[in-house]
Every structure is written in structure tokens, then in C-alpha cells.
């Protein structure tokens, strides 16, 4: 008598698991093929919201483009996508012959964002974990990423599900961590760096935003020294950042110099 009869339920579960693994493999293969044209993928990240990740991403992209790198931005802040608004992009992605979306271009920067698919810009996007994962996968695999040397990925803040999904889905080459001089922002930046290190990803360096007489300065350099990562540069708090229709890199000569210095430091790391 067979003491371990085969259970049909276990067989069905095993088949389901195998099919799930096959689907995951196929999804990763499609994603890898879609991202293959991109030479370098860099995450712009911080554990704290409000430190200016989107502003840094846009101005850094313009600076890198000015250095001769074809640059794109992937706005993966699913909940609050702001890149399209900040860049003043009013057109939607078009579709190529392979049914891939062609990212709209502004100031020489190609952009893909969840913001393109909102009916109203003040609409709240409420996604749970699996929906975030699916949305990111669809945007990535469904986009034509050709002719991009550097893709800057504007990540959502925090150290939980959304940024973790991005880090595990995209095979990012490295990260730029953004902080501000305040103590709480510095603490959250350190948490972000520890998260990146736990996932065995590369960190190109830290940028300190909003420095000056109001918030002080020095947090970025302190993080750099204590965490043994490079300090890419400071960005002063300027009036040009408060104008919604103004892009500091294009309108403010001092901001332009600051970002050129940072992008040159970053390019040296890439080399």
C-alpha cells in the first residue's frame, strides 16, 4: 500500500508554480530586451520626500545632454508623477511600427511618465504593490528606449514597496542620492544608502540640495565621509527654483555652473 499517495491538489499547485516561473522569466526577458539600447541607467533617490529629486533629475538631465549624452528621464514616481509638469510637456507619447511608445521630447530630453496617462493632473493614483509592479513593467517594456545614452530614473521616496519594486525590476547601474542640509533629511538619506547597499547596488555619490543661509550646508559632505561614498556637489537654494515655468539650468547661470560641475563629476564616475 502506498503510504504517500499523490495529491492532485499538490500537482495542480506545482503546475501553477512552474507556469508562474515561466511567466516571470518571459517578463524579465522582454524587459531586458526593451532596456538593452540604454547604455547607463541611474536612479535618483532619497528616502525623504520634498528634497528636490525631480528638480535634480531634470536639471541634471539637461546638463548631461549639454555634455553630449543623449539623455532620457523615466518618471517612476507612480503616485505623484511631476516630471511632465515641471518640463512643460503637453504632448502624449506616439506609437512606432512595433506598437512601442515613443517618449515625447523636451529640450532634447526624452521622457516617459505615468503622468501621461492621467485624465486630470490633480487626480490621485492609488496603486497597491502588485499594481505598481505591473505599471512599471508595462511602461518599461512598452517603450522604445533607442538612442539613449543615460536614463535618469526619478524614484519615489521611502524605503518600502514602491522604490524596492523599481530597484528589483530595473537593473540600474547605480544611484545618485539626494539630501538637504536638515538633520531629518540627512538621516533619511543615510537610510536610503543603507538600503541600496543591502541590495548590492552601486552608488555614484550624494548631492546636497537647498544649501545656503536658510537651511545651512554640510550634510552631503558629512554623509559622503561617514558612508564612504563620493560627494558630487552642492546646489544652492535659489529663486529660480520657485518659478513653476522656469527651469533653473536654462535660466540661471549660477545654477547652470553648479549642475555642470555635478554632471562632470558623475561622468567621471561612469568612466
pLDDT digit string, tens, across residues 31-61:
788 889 999 999 999 988 889 999 999 999 9
Q: In 3D, which of 263, 269, 271, 268 has the Cα closest to residue 57?
A: 263
pLDDT, residue 81, reads 86
pTM score:
0.88
Burial tier of 237 (Cβ tally within 10 Å: 0-12, 13-18, 19+)? middle
pLDDT, residue 30, reads 78
Question: What dotted CATH number matches 9-270?
Answer: 3.40.50.300
pLDDT, residue 96, reads 93
Is the model's pLDDT at 4 over the cut of 60?
no
Domain boundaries, the chain: 9-270
Contact of 207 with 178, CB cutoff 8 Å: yes
Question: Among the residues of the chain, which ranges form H helices?
Answer: 8-35, 53-66, 83-87, 129-141, 161-169, 183-198, 219-227, 248-251, 253-270
pLDDT, residue 38, reads 93
Q: Dump pLDDT digits (tens) for 170-224.
A: 889 999 999 999 999 999 999 999 999 999 999 999 999 999 988 999 999 999 9
Burial tier of 170 (Cβ tally within 10 Å: 0-12, 13-18, 19+)? buried
pLDDT, residue 23, reads 75
Q: How far is 41 from 148, CA to CA, in rounded Å?
A: 10
> Strand pairing of 105-106 and 231-236?
unpaired
pLDDT, residue 144, reads 94
Identify the DSSP state of 149. Answer: S
Letter string b/e over residues 201-214, b meaning 16 or more CB atoms within 10 A of that residue's CB: bebbbbbbbbbeee
Pick from 153-157, 163-167, 199-203: least confident:
163-167
| pLDDT above 70 as % of the chain | 94
Amino acid at each position: 500500500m502506498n503510504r504517500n499517495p499523490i495529491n492532485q491538489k499538490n500537482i495542480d499547485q506545482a503546475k501553477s508554480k512552474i507556469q508562474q516561473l515561466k511567466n516571470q522569466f518571459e517578463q524579465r526577458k522582454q524587459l531586458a530586451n526593451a532596456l538593452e539600447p540604454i547604455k547607463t541607467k541611474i536612479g535618483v533617490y532619497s528616502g525623504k520626500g520634498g528634497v528636490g529629486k525631480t528638480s535634480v533629475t531634470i536639471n541634471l538631465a539637461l546638463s548631461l545632454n549639454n555634455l553630449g549624452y543623449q539623455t532620457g528621464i523615466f518618471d517612476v514616481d507612480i503616485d505623484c508623477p511631476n516630471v511632465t509638469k515641471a518640463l512643460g510637456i503637453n504632448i502624449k507619447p506616439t506609437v512606432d511600427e512595433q506598437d512601442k511608445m515613443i517618449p515625447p521630447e523636451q529640450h532634447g530630453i526624452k521622457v516617459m511618465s505615468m503622468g501621461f496617462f492621467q485624465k486630470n493632473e490633480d487626480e490621485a493614483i492609488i496603486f497597491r504593490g502588485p499594481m505598481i509592479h505591473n505599471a512599471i513593467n508595462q511602461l518599461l517594456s512598452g517603450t522604445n528606449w533607442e538612442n539613449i545614452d543615460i536614463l535618469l530614473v526619478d524614484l519615489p521616496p521611502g524605503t518600502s514597496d514602491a522604490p524596492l519594486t523599481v530597484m528589483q525590476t530595473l537593473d540600474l547601474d547605480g544611484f545618485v542620492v539626494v539630501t538637504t542640509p536638515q538633520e531629518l533629511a540627512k538621516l533619511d538619506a543615510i537610510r536610503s544608502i543603507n538600503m541600496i547597499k543591502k541590495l548590492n547596488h552601486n552608488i555614484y555619490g550624494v548631492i546636497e540640495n537647498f544649501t545656503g543661509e536658510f537651511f545651512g550646508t554640510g550634510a552631503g559632505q558629512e554623509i559622503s565621509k561617514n558612508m564612504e561614498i563620493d560627494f558630487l556637489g552642492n546646489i544652492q537654494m535659489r529663486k529660480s527654483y520657485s518659478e513653476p515655468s522656469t527651469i533653473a539650468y536654462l535660466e540661471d547661470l549660477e545654477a547652470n555652473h553648479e549642475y555642470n560641475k555635478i554632471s562632470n563629476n558623475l561622468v567621471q564616475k561612469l568612466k
